[in-house]
Structure 1
Amino acid sequence: MAIHRNLAAKNRIQKQKLNANIQKQTAFAEAKIKNNKVTIIKTNKNNDVNEFSRKLLHSTIGFIVLLIYSSNDAIIVRNKLLYMFSIASLAEVLRFLNKRFNEIYVRVFGFMMREREKTEKCNGVISYLMGCISVLTLFPKDIAAISILILSWCDTAASFAGRRWGHYTYKFSNGKSLAGTLAAIMVGSIAAYIFWGSGLLKHDPENASWIEEKSVLSLPILIILTGIIGGISELIDLWGLDDNLVIPLLTGIMLRILFKSRMINSKIIPCSALLLQNKRRFSSNKQKEEPMMLKRFWKEVTIQLNPDTQTYEILLDKRALKTPGGSKLTVPFSKKHLALLIAGEWESQNHILKQHSLPLTSLVSIYIDKNKNVNMKHEVINRLLRYFDNDTICYHEPYPDSLVELQKKYWLPIIDWVQTTYNIEVKTTDGISGLKQSENAKEKLKNIIENFDSLKLSAFERATMISKSFLIGLALVENKLSVEEASKASSIETISQTERWGELDAHGIENEDIKRHLGSVACTVMF
């Protein structure tokens, strides 16, 4: 019995020791799990901080885009981004080839990088720059700018909203949430309002893809559609490509299609007021089915001298042609040949009105509605002088050789002529840093263009906008350059690309458009 009692006591002691060990192991495992949870939470917080820094930088770039849009030339901006892209790409190659360089790189820029980008994946800045460069190359200046804004702001909004409220809403198959998409749509609409509706930006009327007075697409509808486009672009996952590349390209493509649509682009710039007054003429069933198709409604085009104002009026079936501002489209008495050319534009219209074939009409309309106003004239002069600081022909590319030769052939003679004629110094650069021309040069050029009459100033404004060069525009209106020479000086980059890779259809269309507008300038100042 005593033996049995001893064995039982030993068994109890062993069980107690075993239970104690199990409890210790359990406590250790729980502590380890808790520690792991703490580690995971810390990692997520670090990721959130990195993502916040990353998106904050993206959003900041959006404001920089607005500044550039208002004060610079898209080609110059794109070239600067190309330099930045080259430097960033070189850094990416070096950090994947050299572990030590990567450690330094991550130490400096790691606060903006995702974990995978530190070891496996390219930095998002590469695709971001690629997206910006692509839209600046492929699309008009304003579409490129709003596309970069959508990338900068909508992507940031979608990211924050998705992290904060995404688990409450529907999840799409690509992992993105309805909350993020709705946030992108809302912020995209705000961006559209700031860009087109706030009045903070001064858009180039000659190159703008949308101006409310000239389009059947109203501002509220455009704001909503742009927001939806931003939301769709942010939502779509295209073959696994980085959003920084996909969002601006999709936005640019959809906006380009929207503005090129016949429904949007059918209101004729120079005669919108007149056509609205005469809309009752479009009353057939077919015209009702296609209300946006503006067709020729007049039989005869004539000009008539108004003895009271000593100006020529252009008449469509004896009714005066009007500008978008509602004023009669008139030409000074000394410009009879210009009046005949405008009448010829309207006489040459066939069944469907074509906006692009009325360059003289639109130029004279701008002169009447805007530049005859003294305050507006001073504003135009000051805006044109800002182009002088960023003049395309003052920024010379050091390569390729074919482009360098074209710069020497077409740009240097213009610069020499300006320096000799007006006794000023024109600064040039082949770097990425911005130029600032001397105040003396600006003052002398300001005195020159202040002496232009309002019609010549309107022509000069168009020449500057189309050629992207204050100096080319000045040489054209002062009869130093022919239309052909001015056109080539404005397009040497396209000429260089054609010589290297062959001509694209888009190049031919663009060149003809440039010649048409510069031709309207020459006709205005010549006759």
Structure 2
Amino acid sequence: MRDLLNDLEAGHFLSDPDPVRRAQIQMRQPLPKRFYKAATVAETPEGHSVQLDGKPIRTPGRAQLLLPTGAAAALVAGEFEAQKDTIDPVTMPVLRLANTAIDGVASDMQAVLEDVMRFSSSDMLCYRADSPDALVSRQAEAWDPVLDWAHATLGARFFLAEGVMHVEQPREAIAAVGLWLRQREEPFRLSAIHLMTTLTGSALIALATEARAIDPDTAWTAAHVDEDWTIEHWGEDAEASLRRALRRRDFDAAVALARSVDATA
């Protein structure tokens, strides 16, 4: 299941899984012309359909693109409306995530749930630097509130370790994460949580963001404490900066989709 999710989330049906390489390839290859005048949302008995000139869209797996709320469908329709003379799939992260939910996650939500639980068993927030003091303090400032939230809200208490040596987490903590996820067992929500988890390297950051315990900017900053520390001391190249910007765009799309699932249809 993780391989399928990675393929779908990273753009298996696009030109390349790496966002920078994908952008470079798209620049070299001619993009399809925009063939429709308007992207709209239509409410049907099965869900909210995204339509191009009145014709429903299908996923790469040939399923009809149906979303659970009008707000969610509007996000996808907005991406189609934002296309100019050509259609650039790179600029449509919500569509890609919706395809993931329908073609991949809906058929085996348990596997996705377990994958997020596996991330939590070796969550990035539990592995701390032992020096320098400034980095230790920065990690604590960004990560401790998320761990405190997990303890207070999920009932999950995680152990911390210095360095990269694996630390066994309590079974009760992982079970608490699983229980929390079961309350969110819906394809589009789980797809968003899974993508946020893989983009940040932390299931706990993803869960806290989805629960609105932290805002997206705080979450993104927390996920990049170590990377930002390295950049401050060694600099950043242009390609790495572009890759991070594209990941942030996908992260924001996941947040938007997760929140739209809660919106009134």
TM value normalised by structure 1: 0.45
String of CA shifts for 1:19-62, please: whole Å, max 9, x gaps: xxxxxxxxxxxxxxxxxxxxxxxxxxxxxxxxxxxxxxxxxxxx
Partner amino acid for 2:215? S
String of CA shifts for 1:173-203, please: whole Å, max 9, x gaps: xxxxxxxxxxxxxxxxxxxxxxxxxx99667
Of 402, 409, 422, the residue aligned with 2:141 is 409
Partner of 2:37: 299
The answer to which structure, 1 or 2, has the higher relative contact order (CA under 8 A, 6+ apart) is 2
Taking the aligned partners of 2:143 and 2:21, their CA distance within structure 1 comes to 36
Q: Match of 1:516, SS?
A: helix
Taking the aligned partners of 1:489 and 1:471, their CA distance within structure 2 comes to 11
> Larger % of strand: which?
2
Partner of 2:51: 315
Does residue 363 (structure 1) correspond to residue 85 (structure 2)? The answer is no
How far apart are 1:465 and its partner, in Å?
1.0
> Larger % of helix: which?
1
Of 122, 137, 148, the residue aligned with 1:390 is 122
How far apart are 1:503 and its partner, in Å?
4.5
CA contact (8 A) 1:487 1:514 kept: no
String of CA shifts for 1:389-441, please: whole Å, max 9, x gaps: 22112111223444323211211111111112222221121133212211111
**Cα RMSD, aligned residues only:** 2.8
Q: Sort the Cα spacing of 1:483 and 1:291 in 2 relative to 1 into closer, same or farther, 3 A.
A: closer
Describe how 1:14-413 pairs up with structure 2 within 5 A: 204-205=6-7, 208=10, 211=12, 214-215=13-14, 262=25, 293-306=31-44, 308-309=45-46, 311-332=47-68, 335-373=69-107, 376-413=108-145
CA contact (8 A) 1:301 1:315 kept: yes
CA contact (8 A) 2:8 2:96 kept: no
How far apart are 1:256 and its partner, in Å?
10
How far apart are 1:483 and its partner, in Å?
1.0
Taking the aligned partners of 1:368 and 1:476, their CA distance within structure 2 comes to 22
String of CA shifts for 1:105-143, please: whole Å, max 9, x gaps: xxxxxxxxxxxxxxxxxxxxxxxxxxxxxxxxxxxxxxx
Q: Sort the Cα spacing of 1:458 and 1:442 in 2 relative to 1 into closer, same or farther, 3 A.
A: same
Taking the aligned partners of 2:75 and 2:180, their CA distance within structure 1 comes to 28
Q: Sort the Cα spacing of 1:411 and 1:368 in 2 relative to 1 into closer, same or farther, 3 A.
A: same
The structure having more radius of gyration, on CA atoms, is 1
CA contact (8 A) 1:494 1:507 kept: no
Q: Sort the Cα spacing of 1:358 and 1:415 in 2 relative to 1 into closer, same or farther, 3 A.
A: same
CA contact (8 A) 1:312 1:331 kept: yes
Partner of 2:220: 487
Unaligned runs of 5+ in 1: 1-198, 218-254, 267-289
Partner of 1:248: none
How far apart are 1:207 and its partner, in Å?
6.4
Q: Sort the Cα spacing of 1:355 and 1:399 in 2 relative to 1 into closer, same or farther, 3 A.
A: farther
Q: Match of 1:205, SS?
A: helix
Taking the aligned partners of 1:517 and 1:303, their CA distance within structure 2 comes to 22
Does residue 501 (structure 1) correspond to residue 234 (structure 2)? The answer is yes
Q: Sort the Cα spacing of 1:390 and 1:370 in 2 relative to 1 into closer, same or farther, 3 A.
A: same
How far apart are 1:511 and its partner, in Å?
3.4
Of 198, 217, 239, the residue aligned with 1:465 is 198
Partner of 2:161: 429
How far apart are 1:514 and its partner, in Å?
3.0
Give aligned-pair identity as a percent: 22
String of CA shifts for 1:267-313, please: whole Å, max 9, x gaps: xxxxxxxxxxxxxxxxxxxxxxx98532322221111111x32x111
Partner of 2:263: none
Q: Sort the Cα spacing of 1:411 and 1:324 in 2 relative to 1 into closer, same or farther, 3 A.
A: same
Partner of 1:270: none
CA contact (8 A) 1:388 1:471 kept: yes
Q: Match of 2:128, SS?
A: coil
How many pairs are equivalent? 258
How far apart are 1:477 and its partner, in Å?
0.7
Taking the aligned partners of 1:437 and 1:403, their CA distance within structure 2 comes to 24
CA contact (8 A) 1:296 1:350 kept: yes
TM value normalised by structure 2: 0.86
How far apart are 1:216 and its partner, in Å?
6.4
Partner of 1:27: none
Q: Match of 1:398, SS?
A: coil
Partner amino acid for 1:303? V
Taking the aligned partners of 2:85 and 2:112, their CA distance within structure 1 comes to 36
Taking the aligned partners of 1:371 and 1:303, their CA distance within structure 2 comes to 23
Taking the aligned partners of 2:20 and 2:80, their CA distance within structure 1 comes to 28
Partner of 1:16: none
Unaligned runs of 5+ in 2: 261-265
